[in-house]
Amino acid sequence: MFMKRVLTTLAGIPLAIYIINTGGLIYAATITLLALLAWYEYTRMMAHKAIRVSFVLGLISILTLLACAWWGNPNEIILVITVSILIALILPVFRGAAFSLNNASYTVTGIVYIGLPFAHLLLLRLTDASLPLTSSFGGSLSAGAVYLWLAFTGTWASDTFAFLVGSKLGKHKLCPAVSPGKTVEGAAGGLLGSVLVVTSFGSIYGISLTHLIVLGALVGIAAPLGDLTESALKRYAGVKDSGRLLPGHGGVLDRFDSIMFTAITVYYYVRAYILH
């Protein structure tokens, strides 16, 4: 299992670098594919609890949310969510016992849980996409790519430091009802790791140290919350992993649960405090 995780990571890092730095349609297509796979995994998990979510409604809603993000219409995201909720509530009227209000509620939950974070992964990459930020080493990336890397590197650092510190020093359980392996000490280590890595990476591109420290702390908080949220979802569904797509890592939701929360966090912080 450990070697599978290592090999998958080694193969994924250069691919992630290429896709994120290239941006454009390649990045958008990748995010769309991941979002649809995540939706499929969600529907399969709910099936373990005999919950029949509307696969078609979720598919259309998530694609529409991503389209709004891609074409720069974030305000229309509210419209898509509203219409999706209304349709989900109307379905039991026409389908009766075949689609209950319980099924409708889990359909809406899945659309929001998957559609909004992946839409924000697009929105974050498109933020100031035409503005180049030059690193202290001479290379440059678009501002959107740099902001996205802050989310990714901070998330990876949080996960890695949390595991290293938790495995060595962890004594106090963080949330035993949801994830027995996580500890308070590990969470503190993850928070510190996120701050260190986000600060180090962002300073290369001349971003304010104050902003980077705050962003690192926010990512260090959001990342484990995203992880715990998916853990709670899997525990409810009675499954170990959301899928089997990534050897040693499980499914898309298993791998992207943290970044789904941190991408939203970084996006709104950047919009509120960094952009002028």
Q: How confident is the model at residue 75 (pLDDT cuts 50, 70, 90)?
A: confident
Q: How would you write 114-180 as a 3-class SS string?
A: HHHHHHHHHHHHHCCCCCEEECCCCCEEEHHHHHHHHHHHHHHHHHHHHHHHHHHHCCCEEECCCEE
Euclidean distance between CA atoms 69 and 60, whole angstroms: 14
What is residue 4's predicted lDDT score, i.e. its pLDDT? 54
Which amino acid makes up residue 202?
G
113 phi and psi angles, rounded to 5 deg: -60, -40
Euclidean distance between CA atoms 74 and 100, whole angstroms: 31
Question: How far from the centroid of its chain's Cα atoms is residue 184's Cα?
Answer: 22
Residue 149 structure tokens: 């890397």
Instruction: Give the containing element (helix H, strand E) for 181.
Output: strand 179-183
**Is the per-residue pLDDT at 74 higher than 60?**
yes
Q: How confident is the model at residue 72 (pLDDT cuts 50, 70, 90)?
A: confident
- Over residues 57-63, the mean pLDDT reads 98
Cα dihedral value 93, 94, 99, 101, nearest 10: -10
- Over residues 22-31, the mean pLDDT reads 96
What is residue 138's predicted lDDT score, i.e. its pLDDT? 77
Task: Give tens-digit pLDDT for 145-181.
Answer: 999 999 999 999 999 999 999 999 988 999 988 888 8
Selection from 19, 22, 107, 25 nearest residue 66 by Cα: 25
**Is the per-residue pLDDT at 18 higher than 50?**
yes
**Is the per-residue pLDDT at 1 higher than 50?**
no
- Over residues 18-42, the mean pLDDT reads 96
